[in-house]
Amino acid sequence: MPLANRIGSALPDLVMAAVFLWCWLSPLAWHPKLASELGSLVLMLFFAMHASVFLSAASGSDDFLGRLLAALVMFAFYLPVAGAFAYFHGGWTPFAGFAWLLLANIATMLAAQGPDDFQSKRMRFYWGAAVGCYILSGLAIAALPLPRLGFRIANVYWDSWWRLNPEDVMAWGLLYFGAMGITKLVETPQMILRED
Protein backbone atom coordinates (compact mmCIF):
# COMPACT_ATOMS: atom_id res chain seq x y z
CA MET A 1 0.00 0.00 0.00
CA PRO A 2 1.35 3.50 -0.80
CA LEU A 3 2.90 5.46 2.06
CA ALA A 4 0.21 8.17 1.87
CA ASN A 5 -2.53 5.56 2.41
CA ARG A 6 -0.64 4.01 5.33
CA ILE A 7 -0.20 7.42 6.95
CA GLY A 8 -3.90 8.21 6.47
CA SER A 9 -4.82 4.90 8.05
CA ALA A 10 -2.41 5.29 10.99
CA LEU A 11 -2.96 8.98 11.74
CA PRO A 12 -6.12 8.68 13.93
CA ASP A 13 -4.40 6.06 16.11
CA LEU A 14 -1.17 8.06 16.42
CA VAL A 15 -3.12 11.21 17.33
CA MET A 16 -4.94 9.29 20.07
CA ALA A 17 -1.67 7.85 21.40
CA ALA A 18 -0.30 11.41 21.63
CA VAL A 19 -3.42 12.61 23.49
CA PHE A 20 -3.10 9.78 26.06
CA LEU A 21 0.59 10.60 26.55
CA TRP A 22 -0.16 14.32 26.88
CA CYS A 23 -2.82 13.63 29.52
CA TRP A 24 -0.46 11.31 31.41
CA LEU A 25 2.22 14.02 31.46
CA SER A 26 -0.08 16.98 32.14
CA PRO A 27 -3.62 15.90 33.07
CA LEU A 28 -4.95 19.44 33.61
CA ALA A 29 -3.41 21.03 30.50
CA TRP A 30 -6.63 20.78 28.47
CA HIS A 31 -9.45 20.51 31.01
CA PRO A 32 -10.03 18.82 34.40
CA LYS A 33 -12.11 15.90 33.13
CA LEU A 34 -9.83 14.85 30.26
CA ALA A 35 -8.45 11.79 32.11
CA SER A 36 -11.95 10.57 32.92
CA GLU A 37 -13.09 11.11 29.34
CA LEU A 38 -10.10 9.20 27.98
CA GLY A 39 -10.94 6.43 30.44
CA SER A 40 -14.42 6.22 28.88
CA LEU A 41 -12.77 6.04 25.48
CA VAL A 42 -10.79 2.96 26.53
CA LEU A 43 -14.10 1.30 27.39
CA MET A 44 -15.63 2.39 24.06
CA LEU A 45 -12.83 0.55 22.27
CA PHE A 46 -14.81 -2.64 22.89
CA PHE A 47 -17.71 -1.36 20.76
CA ALA A 48 -15.32 -0.10 18.09
CA MET A 49 -13.70 -3.53 17.86
CA HIS A 50 -17.15 -5.10 17.57
CA ALA A 51 -18.03 -2.73 14.71
CA SER A 52 -14.78 -3.53 12.92
CA VAL A 53 -15.93 -7.15 12.49
CA PHE A 54 -18.74 -5.90 10.26
CA LEU A 55 -16.46 -3.44 8.49
CA SER A 56 -14.19 -6.33 7.57
CA ALA A 57 -17.09 -7.95 5.71
CA ALA A 58 -17.72 -4.74 3.76
CA SER A 59 -14.04 -4.35 2.88
CA GLY A 60 -14.28 -7.18 0.37
CA SER A 61 -16.08 -4.88 -2.06
CA ASP A 62 -13.88 -3.44 -4.81
CA ASP A 63 -16.30 -0.53 -5.12
CA PHE A 64 -15.23 2.52 -3.06
CA LEU A 65 -18.84 3.78 -2.88
CA GLY A 66 -19.98 0.38 -1.63
CA ARG A 67 -17.40 0.49 1.16
CA LEU A 68 -18.38 4.06 2.00
CA LEU A 69 -22.06 3.07 2.21
CA ALA A 70 -21.17 0.19 4.52
CA ALA A 71 -19.25 2.64 6.72
CA LEU A 72 -22.29 4.94 6.93
CA VAL A 73 -24.51 2.01 7.89
CA MET A 74 -22.08 1.15 10.70
CA PHE A 75 -22.30 4.74 11.92
CA ALA A 76 -26.10 4.60 11.91
CA PHE A 77 -26.12 1.31 13.82
CA TYR A 78 -23.42 1.92 16.43
CA LEU A 79 -23.71 5.64 17.24
CA PRO A 80 -26.99 5.14 19.18
CA VAL A 81 -25.17 2.57 21.35
CA ALA A 82 -22.46 5.13 22.04
CA GLY A 83 -25.13 7.78 22.66
CA ALA A 84 -26.82 5.60 25.29
CA PHE A 85 -23.47 5.02 26.99
CA ALA A 86 -22.83 8.78 26.96
CA TYR A 87 -26.28 9.51 28.39
CA PHE A 88 -25.77 7.18 31.36
CA HIS A 89 -22.25 8.48 32.02
CA GLY A 90 -23.25 12.12 32.15
CA GLY A 91 -21.57 13.56 29.06
CA TRP A 92 -21.18 13.40 25.34
CA THR A 93 -17.45 12.74 25.28
CA PRO A 94 -17.87 8.93 24.98
CA PHE A 95 -20.17 9.57 22.00
CA ALA A 96 -17.62 11.78 20.25
CA GLY A 97 -14.83 9.38 21.21
CA PHE A 98 -16.64 6.42 19.73
CA ALA A 99 -17.27 8.36 16.52
CA TRP A 100 -13.52 9.04 16.34
CA LEU A 101 -12.69 5.35 16.93
CA LEU A 102 -15.15 4.28 14.26
CA LEU A 103 -13.65 6.83 11.87
CA ALA A 104 -10.22 5.30 12.50
CA ASN A 105 -11.58 1.88 11.49
CA ILE A 106 -13.30 3.36 8.46
CA ALA A 107 -10.07 5.14 7.41
CA THR A 108 -8.31 1.77 7.55
CA MET A 109 -11.00 0.20 5.36
CA LEU A 110 -11.14 3.06 2.84
CA ALA A 111 -7.33 3.14 2.50
CA ALA A 112 -7.49 -0.39 1.14
CA GLN A 113 -6.22 -1.24 -2.33
CA GLY A 114 -5.93 -4.53 -4.13
CA PRO A 115 -8.06 -7.63 -4.77
CA ASP A 116 -11.25 -8.17 -2.77
CA ASP A 117 -10.03 -11.30 -0.97
CA PHE A 118 -6.85 -9.51 0.11
CA GLN A 119 -8.89 -6.62 1.57
CA SER A 120 -11.07 -9.03 3.55
CA LYS A 121 -7.92 -10.65 4.96
CA ARG A 122 -6.50 -7.21 5.70
CA MET A 123 -9.51 -6.15 7.77
CA ARG A 124 -9.55 -9.48 9.61
CA PHE A 125 -5.86 -8.94 10.33
CA TYR A 126 -6.60 -5.51 11.82
CA TRP A 127 -9.49 -6.83 13.87
CA GLY A 128 -7.18 -9.49 15.33
CA ALA A 129 -4.45 -6.90 15.87
CA ALA A 130 -6.88 -4.60 17.69
CA VAL A 131 -8.08 -7.36 20.02
CA GLY A 132 -4.51 -8.52 20.64
CA CYS A 133 -3.22 -4.99 21.31
CA TYR A 134 -6.15 -4.24 23.65
CA ILE A 135 -5.59 -7.38 25.73
CA LEU A 136 -1.78 -7.18 25.74
CA SER A 137 -1.85 -3.48 26.68
CA GLY A 138 -4.20 -4.28 29.56
CA LEU A 139 -1.93 -7.09 30.75
CA ALA A 140 1.13 -4.86 30.47
CA ILE A 141 -0.30 -2.16 32.71
CA ALA A 142 -1.30 -4.81 35.26
CA ALA A 143 2.21 -6.27 35.30
CA LEU A 144 4.40 -3.17 35.10
CA PRO A 145 5.01 -0.52 37.74
CA LEU A 146 3.93 2.71 36.07
CA PRO A 147 5.06 6.19 37.09
CA ARG A 148 2.31 8.61 38.08
CA LEU A 149 3.95 11.46 36.09
CA GLY A 150 1.47 14.36 35.96
CA PHE A 151 -1.03 12.58 38.21
CA ARG A 152 1.48 12.82 41.06
CA ILE A 153 0.74 16.53 41.52
CA ALA A 154 -2.58 17.02 39.72
CA ASN A 155 -5.94 16.58 41.39
CA VAL A 156 -8.11 15.32 38.54
CA TYR A 157 -11.65 14.07 38.28
CA TRP A 158 -11.69 10.26 37.98
CA ASP A 159 -14.78 8.05 37.75
CA SER A 160 -15.25 5.95 40.87
CA TRP A 161 -16.24 2.81 38.94
CA TRP A 162 -12.67 2.42 37.65
CA ARG A 163 -10.56 0.04 39.72
CA LEU A 164 -7.47 1.24 37.88
CA ASN A 165 -5.60 4.45 38.59
CA PRO A 166 -5.74 7.15 35.91
CA GLU A 167 -2.06 6.75 35.00
CA ASP A 168 -2.69 3.04 34.32
CA VAL A 169 -5.52 3.83 31.91
CA MET A 170 -3.43 6.53 30.17
CA ALA A 171 -0.66 3.95 29.69
CA TRP A 172 -3.24 1.45 28.37
CA GLY A 173 -4.48 3.93 25.78
CA LEU A 174 -0.96 5.00 24.83
CA LEU A 175 0.19 1.41 24.31
CA TYR A 176 -2.93 0.36 22.40
CA PHE A 177 -3.14 3.31 20.02
CA GLY A 178 0.63 3.50 19.58
CA ALA A 179 0.86 -0.18 18.65
CA MET A 180 -2.06 0.06 16.23
CA GLY A 181 -0.65 3.20 14.58
CA ILE A 182 2.80 1.66 14.13
CA THR A 183 1.26 -1.53 12.73
CA LYS A 184 -0.63 0.49 10.12
CA LEU A 185 2.47 2.51 9.22
CA VAL A 186 4.65 -0.53 8.61
CA GLU A 187 1.96 -2.65 6.95
CA THR A 188 3.15 -4.93 4.15
CA PRO A 189 1.23 -7.49 2.08
CA GLN A 190 3.34 -10.22 3.71
CA MET A 191 1.98 -9.26 7.15
CA ILE A 192 -1.58 -9.65 5.87
CA LEU A 193 -1.04 -12.86 3.90
CA ARG A 194 0.65 -14.52 6.86
CA GLU A 195 -2.91 -15.02 8.18
CA ASP A 196 -3.34 -17.99 5.81
- How far is it, in rounded angstroms, from Cα 101 to Cα 111? 16
The pLDDT value given to residue 112: 65
Whether the model clears a pTM of 0.75, i.e. scores above it, the answer is yes
14-33 pLDDT tens trace: 999 999 999 999 999 888 88
- How far is it, in rounded angstroms, from Cα 185 to Cα 196? 22
The pLDDT value given to residue 61: 57
Per-residue pLDDT of the chain (196 residues; tens, 9 = 90+): 788 888 988 998 999 999 999 999 999 988 888 898 888 888 888 877 877 766 666 655 566 677 667 767 777 777 777 777 767 765 677 777 777 887 777 777 666 666 667 777 887 888 889 999 999 999 999 999 999 999 988 788 888 778 899 999 999 999 999 999 999 999 988 888 875 5
Query: What 3 state SS string does 147-190 have?
Result: CCHHHHCCCCCCCCCCCCCHHHHHHHHHHHHHHHHHHHHCCCHH
- Residue 164, by phi and psi: left (phi above 0), alpha (psi -120 to 50) or beta? beta
The pLDDT value given to residue 186: 94
The pLDDT value given to residue 158: 87
Tally of domains within the chain? 1
The pLDDT value given to residue 132: 95
Domain hosting residue 13, numbered range:
3-193
- Identify the DSSP state of 144: S
The pLDDT value given to residue 165: 92
The pLDDT value given to residue 54: 67
